[in-house]
Structure 1
Amino acid sequence: MMRLTTSDGEHAVLHDLGGHGTPLLLTHGNGLNAGMWATVVPHLQDTFRCWGLDFRGHGASRPQHDGMSVDRGRFTDEVLAAVNALGGEPVLAAGHSLGAACLLMAELRQPGTYRGLYLYEPVLVPEGFPRPDSEHALVVASRRRRIRFATVDEAYERFMSKPPFSLCQPEAVRAYVELGTYPSGDDAVRLSCSGDTEARIYESSVPMDYSTFSAITCPTVVARGDSPAQWNDIPPQMAQPIAEALGNGRLEAFAELSHFGPMENGERVAKSIRAHLEPLVAA
């Protein structure tokens, strides 16, 4: 586990998830952590050395200061810090939701960061789309989220009791909860990512000019879940326009998966990642 300190004193954490071969950087969605990839990684380890990034305020990276900045640029800083920690060469990377968006934003800032990208429903709201405010359903739900539990087991059972996590593989949810909780000192455990942090990240989204994506020419798959169980219709709705705007992108859709696809069927998503990124290993 590597601690990656950024210029404002906050930090991210890079986990060695194991495997052999070419480094593969994995990034997570808002409110999640590197544990979300638990059922994907075992199907990649014979080709890739997998590294999972916990953004500031998530997983093993708890906030260091009150009012921690959740500006998207800070998450992009952490992606680039992780790439540098892995040697600084163009890398292969796969991301989910917020993490997928930050991978793409890092390439915009520093062209040539990647040899190839796999983006599962990157949350990149185009110009002209309303951004989430304090009344948005996701923001309200985040701020209402329970963050204290008697034990890790209680937290796990709570998350597994209702969608979206009840639709996910238990091993993925367990890994997310174990990495995303810490002893609180009052005979309980707390979530590393508070409801307020998650809500502020939703509120921090900024409109993107999709025309700038044409400058991204590394081979990129934008994946989308087409399951009717979607919790938010914006990420899948944006997948095709993002893929079409990229300089070298294509869309891949999964009829049976939702926004939480990597946690719902790790083997299926790993197969898709391999099909795209493995041919680029020697590129």
Structure 2
Amino acid sequence: MSTSLKHLELGGIRWAYREQGQGPLVLMSHGTFLDHSLWDTLAEALSDRFRCVQLDLPGHGQSGFWPQGWGVADLVRLYPQLIAALGETQATLVGLSIGGAISLRVAAEHPECVNALVYMDAAVDAPGPAHLDNLKALAQQLGSLSDEKERAALFTAEPFQRLMHTPGWRDQNPQLAAHELQVQLSHPRAAYPLLAGVVASLNPMSQRLSEVRCPVLALWGADDPGAIWNDVIRNGLPSVSLHLVPNAGHHLPYDQPQQCVDLVSAFLDGIVKNS
């Protein structure tokens, strides 16, 4: 699959993205330490009827970043401009982890720009202090270590893998695991320490979920510790279809790609049919 990316300038930095297909815009946002390629399988499956744009979020992949740091609120303000820069007035947002958290807040604060939301493995509020401290320590190490093998060891360590994937995933999927690791090591070293601050900047949303009026598909890997947010999502969103996917962790599109394709395709086709 081609890795050639397009670029646009927004907010004083370059945004990189991959685009395929024609039709209603589907804007895809990945999680921390990942990149646009998380969505390759899903975008390819949707591209016969949707225009799929897979972002590299700031500080990831080929996108630029703000050296002074940035927060979720900064990105939420920019997403309507991003949709407009892509020549559209509305989009379906698909996001995992921090990408899902950003997309949820865009749907609440800019409802005119969002016709549907696919929300995957994303915390509703900021993680607890222990999680944030661990993430900050990891991000600082990734920024300070010049040796790639030492940085790779941080990503492949058991505690990190246990948070990201269902048990045994790396051994069962060596090629995909190698690709994911290559992506995780590819980001600008100066950006790594700043990425923990983006997660820490998440404003509380658990009491604001009723502001999200568009249809929502919420997907969780059953092995993702963040699945504790299931009941909050189920009870808080006015229009939500929620699925707990077996044998999947936090990186659901990697752990269970076909189930991800099937669930998202059915949801988006239903949105188009009912529009």
TM-score tier, shorter chain, comes to 0.7 to 0.9
Quick one: structure 1 residues 109 and 92, their matched pair in 2 at CA, closer, same or farther if it must change by over 3 Å? same
Distance 2:137 2:41 in 1: 30
**Matching residue within 10, 18, 36 for 2:13:** 10
Instruction: Tell me the equivalent position of 2:254.
Output: 263
Distance 1:107 1:45 in 2: 23
What is the 5 A alignment of 1:154-165? Answer: 163=161, 164=164
8 A contact 2:32–2:98 mirrored in 1: yes
The alpha-carbon deviation at position 277 of structure 1 amounts to: 0.8
Instruction: Tell me the equivalent position of 2:64.
Output: 62
Opposite residue 220 of structure 2, the aligned amino acid is R
Distance 2:36 2:102 in 1: 15
Distance 2:79 2:181 in 1: 23
Deviates more, 1:134-143 or 1:88-97: 134-143
What is the 5 A alignment of 1:61-140? Answer: 61-63=63-65, 65-69=66-70, 71-125=71-125, 131-132=128-129, 136-140=133-137
String of CA shifts for 1:34-70, please: whole Å, max 9, x gaps.
122223322222222210122211111132x43222x
8 A contact 2:247–2:255 mirrored in 1: no
Percent same amino acid at aligned positions? Answer: 20
Quick one: structure 1 residues 177 and 20, their matched pair in 2 at CA, closer, same or farther if it must change by over 3 Å? farther
Quick one: structure 1 residues 112 and 106, their matched pair in 2 at CA, closer, same or farther if it must change by over 3 Å? same
Quick one: structure 1 residues 161 and 49, their matched pair in 2 at CA, closer, same or farther if it must change by over 3 Å? farther
TM-score normalized with structure 2 length: 0.80
Instruction: Tell me the equivalent position of 2:138.
Output: 141
Pair 1:39-2:35 in alignment: no
8 A contact 1:226–1:256 mirrored in 2: yes
Please, which runs of 5 or more residues in structure 1 have no aligned partner?
Answer: 183-189
| Secondary structure of 1:222's aligned partner | strand
Specify which structure has the bigger relative contact order, considering alpha-carbon pairs within 8 angstroms and separated by 6 or more residues. 1
The alpha-carbon deviation at position 271 of structure 1 amounts to: 1.1
The alpha-carbon deviation at position 192 of structure 1 amounts to: 5.6
Pair 1:236-2:227 in alignment: yes
8 A contact 1:24–1:48 mirrored in 2: yes
Quick one: structure 1 residues 265 and 155, their matched pair in 2 at CA, closer, same or farther if it must change by over 3 Å? farther
8 A contact 1:131–1:206 mirrored in 2: no
CA RMSD of superposed structures (Å): 3.1
Quick one: structure 1 residues 140 and 238, their matched pair in 2 at CA, closer, same or farther if it must change by over 3 Å? same
Quick one: structure 1 residues 148 and 45, their matched pair in 2 at CA, closer, same or farther if it must change by over 3 Å? farther
Structure with more of its chain in helix, by fraction: 2
The alpha-carbon deviation at position 134 of structure 1 amounts to: 8.9
Instruction: Tell me the equivalent position of 2:199.
Output: 202
| Secondary structure of 1:40's aligned partner | helix
Opposite residue 211 of structure 1, the aligned amino acid is Q
Distance 1:170 1:42 in 2: 22
Paired residues in the alignment total: 260
